[in-house]
Structure 1
Amino acid sequence: MNSAPGPLLADLTAEARAAAHTRSSACPCGAATLADRPDGLVVRHADTVAKAHPPGTDPAELAARLTLAARHPGILLPPLHPTPVALHGRPVTFWPYGTPVDPGDPDAAPWEAAAVLLARLHRTPAPADLPAMRGPVKAARAIARLREAGPHPAAAPVLRAWATLPPWSRGEAPMPHTGTLCHGDLHLGQLVRHPAPAGPWLLIDVDDLGVGTPAWDLARPAAWYACGLLPPDAWDRFLTAYRQAGGPAVPAEGDPWPALDVAARALTAQTAARAVAKAAAAGRALDEVEQSVVDACDRMAAVPPQSAQDHAK
């Protein structure tokens, strides 16, 4: 975990406390740091969450994403305020607290709910001012961090797999099919129940929200399934629910993989790059899960990716 600068953490906690007390006169004054990462510092005070977004975040793009979340409260968790405030040179947003997915109970993971929310998001008309979905750009940043991390024996297969991917999936060219509204960073940590503790599931984290290729939003569970990290039953439940809800990222019937292969490979390389960079920084060997993702990259590098266009020929 990257430790946030003391003044930023202290002031963000104070902002969350002030917002919570504005919302409720019976605040129990419980506070906690929910996340402390380079891509965001998140603190909670009672039923209010404050997030300091990364330095360099475009305020206009963030405002467009917040507006979209406010307009679709049945899909996305709506912000408490429509515009960010500035704190230590970083935009800060405020949100109601929602109950997250319990990582200790994988059998209760809401794969169907996640799939239905994605399908609904993908069918929602995108406003004209919404920026591009940031998934490929984030994947490219993970590869850049891997290269900056220094020598590690597991880096080579990750970089070889990355080199086989088309430019759009590496953030080097516009995405195909960019009229679809996409989340950009879908995983189970991006769902909460709101109102807490047992309201409906909603998607959170609008930082990567935008128009793009919807297969990217299915790519992480697809990659986990391909790497053996997600049981076939869970993948089938997720994919079936997405199709039944009319999701446009894959065909309604038949093999979904030509539509998913490129994005799933990119997410596998991103995950492996992050794992290897962390291992290199800590001077340690990869654990079993990390090694399985690197092994998947090694296999990927030997077989060119499919595409829906190739499949159609």
Structure 2
Amino acid sequence: MTSTETSAVDDLGALAHRLSHPAATPCVCEAPRVLADRPDGTVVRSGTTVAKAHAPGTDREALAARIAVAADPRLAGILLPPLTAPASPAAPGPGTAVRGTRPPAASRPVTLWPYGEPVDPSDPQAAPWADAAVLLARLHRTPPPVPFPPMRGPAKAAEAVDRMRTALPGHPSALPVLAAWDALPAWARDETPAPGARGRFLCHGDLHLGQLVRHPAPDGPWLLIDVDDLGTGDPAWDLARPAAWYAAGLLPPEDWLTFLDAYRSAGGPAVPADGDPWPALDVPARALTVQTAALALVKCAAGQRDPDEPEALMLASCARIATSPPELATGPAS
């Protein structure tokens, strides 16, 4: 970890620690712990408080709008609400930048959250697919504020493809991924808005099991976290990652059906109430397949290794997509 990264982590740890432990409260907890440290965000926990430094270059106005939605009472029981820090320069409120002597943290917007217990990755049988689906359906049925930023799902897919192009210029392994990408409509490549009424729903934008926590920890109800990509868009995008995993053979059919049935039972608008869901899911599922495959190739190049089995399955899905007509390309792998 570089000195700049270390400074940002130290800033976040100190901030979370101060909020979790008022000056007069004895502290017997562990040292602040890094929960994530990626280009798109650094997350540090101290006690019951989590501090997140968002990506450099984050649109602060859009982030503030997203944080306000997370705090909206209409989203209670769906999105984890942010914490409001004490009014002091050293402890900012949601969506503001840290004011301190260390420029690394000061250059990035920081938000504060209560700690929630995440999904246990070692226990796939307990994965809360039905809970995730119900939360999504409730989110999609909530009217978004007007105006409100667009959901960033297509933008993240485009960023992943750009990263792959930079890391593997002209490499043969990237060609099927690029062919699958080029076959997508412009809105799925973040070149135009989502079409018509499909683009007017409130969407999470980056749904996966890492975006759920139990709050209060450790056994409260499940809530969605991470509003960085929240916005208006096609709600099918939020179903697209599990759909893509199912199509590639990574998600067991029973888990996919549990997720889909729960979403439909909760009145989710992304797919018809019955019948074939793939016409609605096809384009977003293809886009998430491309995004996943592109990032897999970037990781393989950085680690100088071959794709592992899940990565190879997503790359094979891209090859199918590149040579299959729409609505057939993402059907379950046989």
User: Does the 8 Å CA contact 1:3/1:36 hold for their aligned counterparts?
Assistant: no
Q: 1:271 aligns with which of 289, 292, 296?
A: 292
Distance 2:310 2:224 in 1: 26
User: Does the 8 Å CA contact 1:2/1:37 hold for their aligned counterparts?
Assistant: no
**Displacement of 1:63 after TM fit?**
0.8
Q: 2:112 aligns with which of 94, 99, 106?
A: 94
Distance 2:211 2:24 in 1: 26
> CA deviation digits over 1:188-218, x for unaligned, max 9?
0000000000000000000000000000000
Residues 282-301 of structure 1: matches in 2 within 5 Å? 282-301=303-322
**Displacement of 1:234 after TM fit?**
0.2
Equivalence for 1:67: 68
Equivalence for 1:261: 282
User: Does the 8 Å CA contact 1:70/1:78 hold for their aligned counterparts?
Assistant: yes
1:147 aligns with 2:165: yes
User: Aligned residue pairs: how many?
Assistant: 307
1:127 aligns with 2:135: no
Equivalence for 2:39: 38
Give the AA of the match of 1:57: T
For the residue of structure 1 that corresponds to 2:246, the secondary structure is helix
Equivalence for 1:12: 12
Residues 130-279 of structure 1: matches in 2 within 5 Å? 130-151=148-169, 152-176=171-195, 177-279=198-300
**Displacement of 1:2 after TM fit?**
9.5
Give the AA of the match of 1:301: A
**Displacement of 1:156 after TM fit?**
1.0
Q: CA RMSD in A?
A: 1.7
Give the AA of the match of 1:63: A
Distance 1:261 1:122 in 2: 19
Stretch deviating more after TM superposition (124-133 or 230-239) = 124-133
Stretch deviating more after TM superposition (76-85 or 116-125) = 76-85
Give the AA of the match of 1:5: E
User: Does the 8 Å CA contact 1:246/1:252 hold for their aligned counterparts?
Assistant: yes
Q: How high is the sequence identity, in percent, across the aligned residues?
A: 64
User: Does the 8 Å CA contact 1:168/1:175 hold for their aligned counterparts?
Assistant: yes
**Displacement of 1:154 after TM fit?**
1.9
Distance 1:66 1:2 in 2: 29
**Displacement of 1:23 after TM fit?**
9.8
Distance 2:303 2:116 in 1: 33
Distance 2:46 2:212 in 1: 19
Distance 1:303 1:23 in 2: 62
Give the AA of the match of 1:148: T
Equivalence for 1:311: none
For the residue of structure 2 that corresponds to 1:49, the secondary structure is strand
Give the AA of the match of 1:201: W
User: Does the 8 Å CA contact 1:262/1:305 hold for their aligned counterparts?
Assistant: yes
**Displacement of 1:276 after TM fit?**
0.3
Distance 1:68 1:269 in 2: 30
TM-score, normalising length: structure 1: 0.94
Equivalence for 1:52: 53
Give the AA of the match of 2:135: L
Give the AA of the match of 1:19: L
Unpaired stretches in structure 2, ≥5 consecutive residues? 85-92, 98-104, 329-334
Q: For the structure 1 residues 294 and 23, does the alpha-carbon distance in structure 2 shift closer, same or farther, using more than 3 Å as the test?
A: farther
User: Does the 8 Å CA contact 2:94/2:112 hold for their aligned counterparts?
Assistant: no
Equivalence for 2:126: 108
